[in-house]
Structures are given as C-alpha cells and as structure tokens.
Structure 1
Amino acid sequence: MLNQYVFEYFSNHPTSKFKVLRKIIIKECKGELMLSIQKQR
C-alpha cells in the first residue's frame, strides 16, 4: 500500500518534494515497527 502511494506521489509531483515524502515514509515505518513490537509482546 505504501509502495503504491510512493509511485503515485512521484508520478504526480516533482522530486523536489522528496524530503517531505521521506518524512512520511519514516513515520509510516516507525509506526509499523512499534505495532509489530507491541504484537510480539
């Protein structure tokens, strides 16, 4: 799902906005990591 968002973002926006996208990806990854850690406990 995240990959589809990334693809749509790059096809609709210039790469100059990559920094914003990178922040979004980092937040998503951190959220998924926290969820997976909570599930393991």
Structure 2
Amino acid sequence: MESTSASSARGFVRGEFYTQDGALVASTVQEGVMRNHN
C-alpha cells in the first residue's frame, strides 16, 4: 500500500497484490475524506 496523495482532508491510497513468484493478481485504490462533525 502507498498513499499517493493526501491534502485538504482527503487521501488516496493504492495497493497491489502479488503471488509468491511475483505475478500481479490484483490491485486496489481507495479515496477517503475526513470531516470534523461538531
């Protein structure tokens, strides 16, 4: 997993999954927003 960007209460994370012999089998991305509720 690596966070490729984070600013203005937003974050973007990308990850990759490999087999033991190094073949890429899946990738994932997720964006999140943090908000303060008073």
Structure scoring higher RCO (CA < 8 A, sep ≥ 6) equals: 1
Instruction: Place the TM-score, normalised by the shorter chain, in its bin.
Output: under 0.3
Q: Quick check: which one's strand share is greater?
A: 2
Q: Quick check: which one's helix share is greater?
A: 1
Query: Which of structures 1 and 2 has the bigger CA Rg?
Result: 2
